[in-house]
Amino acid sequence: MLHIGRERSFESLRRLIMPPRNNRRRRPGGRGRKRTFGPKKAKDPNDEEKAVEVEGEISSVLAGTMFRVKLASDHEVLAHISGKMRKRFIRLVVGDRVKMEMSPYDLTKARIVFRLS
């Protein structure tokens, strides 16, 4: 049995009984802190990869939240609903006017981002 004198504090007694704790905690999976070097790159608003915004009218509803949308220039594109519109349960029907984003690389497909009417 261990004899505790008045001169011994609780901390010194704890060190005698228990091994030292490892205060450095490791993240699971061996991942360390993300380190980035240098300044962040500023995004150029005039970047040529920027999406093109157009307006159109839904001409037909297809399966899987896909739509045929007729543009003002009489072109028809295949469009799907953006994630935020799905999250908010925005319903679209034939005849609704919508705002879309199109990639400059493929002008036959678009993403519906806003319902106008």
pTM over 0.85: no
- What are the sequence ranges of the domains in the chain? 52-115
Bigger pLDDT: 35 vs 102: 102
Average pLDDT, whole number, for the chain?
Answer: 82
* Cα-trace Rg, the chain: 31
DSSP element (H, E) containing 16: helix 10-17
Which of 83, 86, 111 is CA-nearest to residue 99?
111
- Taking domain 52-115, whether its CATH number is 2.40.50.140 is answered by yes
DSSP for 42-103 reads PPPTT-TTSPEEEEEEEEEEETTTEEEEEETTS-EEEEEE-HHHHHTT----TT-EEEEEE-
pLDDT confidence tier of residue 45, bands split at 50, 70 and 90: low
